[in-house]
Amino acid sequence: MKTASFEEKNIWVIVGPTAVGKSELAVRLAKKLNGEVISADSRQVYKGLDIGTGKITKKEMRGIPHHFLDVADPKKRFSAADFVRLGSEKIAAIFSRNHIPIICGGTGFYISALLGEISLPPAPPNPKLRAKLEKKTTSELFTMLKKLAPTRAAKIDRYNPRRLIRAIEVAKSSRNSVEIRYPSILWVSDFHNRSRIVKIGLTLPPKKLKEKIRTRLLTRIRHGMIAEAEKLHRQGLSWKRMEELGLEYRYLARHLRDEISKNEMIKKLQTEIWHYAKRQMTWFKRDKTIEWFSPNDKTIFETIANIFSL
């Protein structure tokens, strides 16, 4: 069998906020295109973070290969630079099998970095600065970042101290955390400008998305999300690291330490996941090359097929 060249292949990208239904569409598209899915989720890379992150199950994959799930130890940090390095290799490997890469996820920074749309900050770690910043509260860190890099502050998880510290570190080093460029037609720079990017976005009206977030959260809790967090802690994942992992694991850690009740945890998570979804949409809406669809549209796949001549 002839191996397709980059010129003969598109790289597909499916983006959108959490809970909108990206994974299901990615599997359907992969079935149609003989594709493989590259997960672009900053927490699903970690082993054991299954229920809390909404990781796709083997049954839901329907035999489609999925990459970047369960590839890292949650006790260690997997960075955007790691994702770009390994993701570039993965795309090349998928092409070599004459398959189509389908990047699917909600971590916009990872996706933009992999596609060559932003330059990752070159700032090296600054141990002295980090030690100083670690003594500050998340509120103090967020205030600092707003002064140094207001654009970055508007998109960051303001309650995640690790990300706040890194953003401050980068801002202090370069005063310009990322260099963003949006050419009219996007090409992957690491593949010699030869592979066209086809981007699909899924979105829902705010009321419907809020309800999906709530329903999915309650389902995860019924399926053992709290027990999963207890197990992770027994296996050596510290409370501090769970706080750093953010969202579900941050509030699970607080609940398991009896700092908040189960009902308080659910209420907080509904609010924080919704705020996260809004930050995701803020990131993606800047990109005018994305074609947007509603996942509730029963003819969505037919529409996509017509637009992109599948």
**Where along the chain do its domains lie?**
121-177, 208-276
58 assigned binding-site residue: no
Helices 138-148/161-174 angle, 10° precision: 30
* 17 annotated among ligand-binding-site residues: yes
Do 310 and 40 meet the contact criterion of CB atoms below 8 Å apart?
Answer: no
User: Would you say 198 is a known binding-site residue?
Assistant: no
What class, spelled out in words, does domain 121-177 have in CATH? Answer: mainly alpha
Interatomic CA distance for residues 54 and 109, integer angstroms: 19
pTM for the model stands at 0.80
- 20 appears as a binding residue in the annotation: yes
Return per-residue pLDDT of the chain as tens, 310 residues.
344 444 457 899 999 999 999 999 999 999 999 999 999 999 999 999 999 999 999 999 999 999 999 999 999 999 998 999 899 999 999 999 999 999 999 999 999 999 988 877 667 778 889 889 999 998 999 999 999 888 888 878 888 888 899 889 888 875 544 444 433 233 344 454 556 899 999 999 999 999 999 999 999 999 999 999 999 999 999 999 999 999 999 999 999 999 999 999 999 999 999 999 999 999 999 999 999 999 988 888 888 888 887 6
Q: What is the DSSP secondary structure assignment for residue 290, as one 8-state letter?
A: P
Q: Is 195 annotated for ligand binding?
A: no
Distances (CA, A) of 301 to 57, 198, 309: 22, 14, 11
Cβ within 8 Å of residue 92, ≥6 positions away: 191
Helices (H), the chain: 22-33, 58-61, 80-96, 108-114, 127-133, 138-148, 150-153, 161-174, 206-222, 225-234, 239-245, 247-256, 262-285, 300-307
